A and B are shown apart, each in its own frame.
Chain A
Amino acid sequence: MPNSEANLEQLEVDFQARIDAEERIEPKDWMPEKYRKTVLRQMSQHAHSEVIGMQPEGNWITRAPSLHRKIVLLAKVQDEAGHGLYLYSAAETLGATREELVQLMHEGKAKYSSIFNYPTLTWADIGAIGWLVDGAAIVNQVALQRTSYGPYSRSMIRICKEESFHQRQGYEIMLKLANGSPEQKAMAQDALNRFWEPSLMMFGPTDADSPNSAQSMKWKIKRKSNDELRQAFVDQTIKQIEVLGLEMPSKDIKWNEERGHYDFGELNWDEFFAVIKGNGPCNRQRLAHHKKAHDEGAWVREAARAYEAKKKARAEKAA
């Protein structure tokens, strides 16, 4: 028997010691099965989010209001596809293929960020997504640059380099609208109001309602708690709302001298969980869209495989 119980215990102690010493865990290293599963679930969910997130923004690529905006948005969404790729390959280091992970998502067994179940109804929503959704993603991903799993940490470092451009392009869209015609300003305000709460919920449930968080923090898969990250995002964003000259999206937002942070009131978590369960306006659409593209591409992938096989056979025959 390779691992007696005592042996296993020792491995776990050593593992935790490595984590505590800020060492990175690499694919070939020993790791507790639950660590492997947690990291894999998180990376796969992250990868799916990057890819599903292409849809609400892609929804406006053909309708972007100027050539400049069209080009910037195309480049942005292209980056997100690239992020999906990095993350799928990071996930593959733990032995799950991209095909398998996608399959799990199609079966509803793997999640993606619930923020993408909200519709992009106006051009301002593209501004709000870049500014708020990518903004929230950055706060989260900056913390994850120091996550304990090496390949995940490295893909976060790579991704963060591209993210600030994403947030900036969104904020620029909002700036233009907020300083534009009354109709444009109203459009910006409406987008802010609709995306405010959902973007705060991207950090996940409150720490009190997040039972798995403690273990993830101990393993340094997560580096900061949901509430800490959310607060950091709120504090930075409120100042930006002021610069835009828009109204605050909630009457509960006010500076709390004592805490040294902005209060932002209770979030409507019932709605959050309802949307996760499938009550969002776009849940069904997002999955169906992804599945359709995947199914329609099957003959292309098959043709590429068939051609490679023929080529190989010909080369072998010639040799």
Chain B
Amino acid sequence: MTETNTPIVDYTIRLADDSLTLGHRLSEWCSNGPFLEEDIALINVSLDYVGRARMLYAYAAETENQGRSEDDICYLRDTREYRNLLINELPKGDFAFTIVRQFFVDTFNLLFYTELLNSKDSTLAAIAGKSIKETKYHLRRSKDWMVRLGDGTEESHNRCQAAIDELWDYVTEMFDMDELETGLAAQGVAVDRTALREQWQQIVKEVTDEATLTLPDHDIAIRGGRTGIHTEHLGYLLAELQYVQRAYPGNTW
């Protein structure tokens, strides 16, 4: 039993898992960036994502009201119980992979949180408001880097193109709706993801054109995150993330 039977809690945990896994991946860049300014910027973005995850977990814990804390939800669920979209959990890869993923997700988030701002759930709407501000900055950065890398050297172009080709398999899942989200969308709480695809595609196309990069036209769509069918990478991410809590259960830190 992984879902909580409270749709709003499940929905919030999904969004939290999305933010957390991507924030975690970004944090892996600390001391590994191509230059110091980039270390700082990547940590900045990571902080926004982990901070957002924390607000969402806290809201889920409070709404659920079963005595679980934000950390319990984050640190004591295993792979099959995690609900993030697969694109967020993929290993950080090289700098091009990280940038392309950020660009895809940032673009998505700008559209998504702009819609979530109208949610009938006032907490989610407030979190969306904060997220939009952050995302605008994230997207400016990832867009700039897309163009720089795509239109930089042959090597940066090729690395960027390879990242696009690989990440494309995971794009479709961002726009999937299921019963839970359709139900919440009908109540004006959740966002209709399918409605965002066209605009997303348009923005991404514009930028990749400018960056002299090409979007694949295959329609491979790897999915499963929302039902706990993950890539093998998530297990290692969680093993690391949860290590202290698992090794010394029941303590506070």
Contacts and interface: CB of A to CB of B under 8 A. Distances in A.
25 contacts: A54-B30, A54-B39, A62-B240, A63-B241, A67-B50, A67-B53, A67-B54, A74-B30, A74-B50, A75-B43, A75-B47, A81-B39, A81-B40, A85-B40, A123-B253, A173-B253, A177-B253, A293-B34, A297-B38, A298-B34, A302-B152, A303-B153, A306-B156, A307-B148, A310-B151
A78 interface: yes
A9 to B, nearest CB: 41
B46 interface: yes
B24 interface: yes
Q: Interface SS of chain B: helix, strand, loop or mixed?
A: helix
A258 to B, nearest CB: 42
A311 to B, nearest CB: 9
Interface residues of A, number: 48
A63 B244 contact: yes
Contacts of A299: 153, 155-156, 159
B43 A78 contact: yes
Interface in A27-46: none
Interface stretch (B70-78, B134-142, B168-176): B70-78
A88 B34 CA distance: 16
A194 interface: no
B148 A67 contact: no
B252 interface: yes
A71 B152 contact: no
Contact of B54 (A71, A77, A84, A297): A71
Nearest to A308: B148
Which A-B residue pairs are the 5 nearest by beta carbons? A297-B34, A303-B152, A303-B156, A300-B34, A65-B244
A180 to B, nearest CB: 6
B244 A123 contact: yes
Contacts of B147: 307
Nearest to A180: B251
A296 B34 CA distance: 7
Contacts of A284: none
B27 A62 contact: yes
Interface of A: 51, 54-55, 58, 61-71, 74-75, 77-78, 81-82, 84-85, 88, 98, 123, 173, 176-177, 180-181, 183-184, 289-290, 293, 296-304, 306-307, 310
B248 A61 contact: no
Interface residues of B, number: 48
Given A58-B30, A67-B74, A82-B40, A301 B248 contact: no
Contact of A67 (B57, B155, B159): B57
Nearest to B245: A65
Contacts of A298: 34
A67 B71 contact: yes
Interface string B43-82: 1101100110110010000000000001100110000000
B31 A289 contact: yes
Given A62-B28, A293-B31, A293-B32, A303 B148 contact: yes
A297 B35 contact: yes
A31 B245 CA distance: 56
Contacts of A310: 151
A61 B151 contact: no
A301 B156 contact: no
Given A61-B27, A293-B31, A297-B95, A66 B155 contact: no
Interface string B188-208: 000000000000000000000
B30 to A, nearest CB: 4
Given A62-B28, A300-B34, 6 more contacts: A65-B75, A66-B75, A70-B50, A74-B27, A78-B39, A289-B31
Interface in B128-182: 147-149, 151-153, 155-156, 159
B235 interface: no
A229 to B, nearest CB: 28
A74 B245 contact: no
Contacts of A296: 32, 34, 94-95
Contacts of A123: 244, 253
A70 B248 CA distance: 17
